[in-house]
Amino acid sequence: MTRLLSAAGVLAGAALFWAIATSGIHAQGSRLTLPDWTGIWAMQGPTVFDRASVQPPNGRAGEPGVRETPPYTDEWEARYRRNIELVRQGKFPDPVSTCGTPHGFPRIMNVPDVYEFAVTPAAVYVIAENGPNVLRIYTDGRKHPAAEDLWATYNGASVGHWEGDTLVFTTISLKGSKDSDVIVDRTGLVLSDASRATTRLRKVDENTMEAQMVIEDAKALKTSWTVTKRYVKQPPGTWAWDYACAENNRNPIDASRRTLTLGPDGKPLDK
Amino acid sequence: MNRITRHALAVAVAISLGATVLAHHSAAMFDDAKVVEKKGIVKELQWTNPHVWLQVVVEESGKKTEWSLEGGSPNTLSRQGWRASTFKAGDVVTVRFNPPMKDGSAAGQFVGAKFDADGKTIGRWQ
């Protein structure tokens, strides 16, 4: 009888241990099996943020007259139109031209060069070679910090969880654009400091990653705005490199907001 | 990798560089509807981020002018077959570039180049 009780105790203990262990894993938002997002990836298409609505259809960000159609409020639509006019005049400089600030979210999902998506049990890191930029998404079960513990940043604060092999994360506490100091793309697209997004990041197939962003902005948008970006896997063995933007930046911005070209002696070539 | 192999690789993977190279600032200061062609001697390839710069000295009507031609990042260009040694000081090249939008300064956005020595090309060159 003693032996029987002992065996039952061992079994009960093992079951309890397993229950605690697995509940602990789930409580931390972690998983026993994580998806394999290994590789080097490059965004599909040019850096127009919402390619589904861009006009003209093949328009590129930075070309005069190119625009998208986010569900802006009247006030922010007017602001966008002013920015488009500044693009036309060559006076809508890209803030990253200073080599001093990151692109910020959601623009980090919309940059050239290559990406890596690093999956760990407690966090996922979106590493953009251009910038460089890192988007940290914590998946360890934590919540967003309390409002009094937050301050607006370029990439905000992101927490996420796994739904199967899809990472679902919410990003809050973004700086938004004050004086076009943070932009979404070079058409003049901007969001406010009330913007936030829920993103579904997944591997569509072996060679394709997809980020579907549902963006909300109580100041700038009338309704939510869904934008999908895709990333194509690069050949095996592809390298990502340092992108030291300040190494030899020959394109400063002058007081009139023009982007200059410096000669090899460091003096402006612009006349 | 010898020069011919490098060039072959670059040509094989060359895409519309002019439309994609400027990852760090707007290309609005260059007129991508125009392509200017000049022949000169390479002074230097600055293989640096955020952009590479090809410095080419062009002699016209007895006057020498150094042109600054802006390309993509070395990161991207290296994946397209470029190397830091693709252009060497003294190479005689014909270069094509988008000129500045307004002011006529001696600068441009690199489009493509043809090496005088062997006729090989790099970038967009049709």
Q: Which residue of B has its CA nearest to A101?
A: B24
Measured between CB atoms, does B94 come within 8 Å of chain A?
Answer: no
Start-to-end CA span in chain A (Å):
99
pLDDT at A27 over 50: no
Nearest to A62 among B26, B105, B107 (CB): B26
The residue to which tokens 């020959």 are assigned:
A250
Instruction: Give the residue-averaged pLDDT of A233-242.
Output: 96
Instruction: Give the residue-averaged pLDDT of B54-82.
Output: 96
Q: Do B104 and A271 touch (CB under 8 A)?
A: yes
Q: Look up residue A29 and give its DSSP letter.
A: T
Residue B3 confidence (pLDDT): 45
Number of domains in chain B: 1
Nearest to A90 among B29, B53, B106 (CB): B29
Helix H or strand E segment including B100? none
Q: How far apart are CA A265 and CA A262, in angstroms?
A: 8
What confidence tier does B41 reach under pLDDT thresholds 50, 70, 90? very high
Start-to-end CA span in chain B (Å):
25
Measured between CB atoms, does B70 come within 8 Å of chain A?
Answer: yes
Nearest to A261 among B19, B50, B107 (CB): B107
Residue B117: other Cβ atoms inside 10 A: 9
Q: Tell me the whole-structure pTM to 2 decimals.
A: 0.84
Q: How far apart are CA B74 and CA B97, in angstroms?
A: 18
Cβ neighbours of residue A73 under 8 Å, at least 6 residues apart? A219, A220, A221, A222
Measured between CB atoms, does B65 come within 8 Å of chain A?
Answer: no
Domain boundaries along the sequence of chain A: 41-241
Measured between CB atoms, does B24 come within 8 Å of chain A?
Answer: yes
Transcribe A82-145 into DSSP letters.
HHHHHHHHT----GGGGSSS---TTGGGG-SSEEEEEE-SSEEEEEETTTTEEEEEE-SSPPPP
Question: Which of A47, A261, A270 is the best residue to mutate to test the B interface, defined by the most B CB atoms within 10 Å of its own CB?
Answer: A261
Residue A154 confidence (pLDDT): 96
What confidence tier does B17 reach under pLDDT thresholds 50, 70, 90? very low
The residue to which tokens 């890596």 are assigned:
A116
Q: How far apart are CA A246 and CA A94, in angstroms?
A: 15
**Cis-peptide into A236, omega within 30 deg:** no
Q: Which residue of A has its CA nearest to B23?
A: A112
At residue B77's C-alpha, the angle toward residues A186 and A130, to 5°, is 45
Interface of B with A in 96-115 (CB under 8 A): 100-101, 103-107
Residue B30 confidence (pLDDT): 84
Looking up residue B53, the CATH number of its domain turns out to be 2.40.50.140
Residue B5 confidence (pLDDT): 41
**One-letter identity of residue B101:** M
Nearest to A113 among B28, B66, B73 (CB): B73
**Cis-peptide into A57, omega within 30 deg:** no
Burial of B33 (C-beta count, 10 Å sphere; 0-12/13-18/19+): exposed
Chain A: closest CA distance from residue B80 (Å): 11
Query: Domain range for residue B102?
Result: 3-123
- In tens, the pLDDT along A66-118 reads 999 999 999 999 999 999 999 999 899 999 988 989 999 999 999 999 999 99
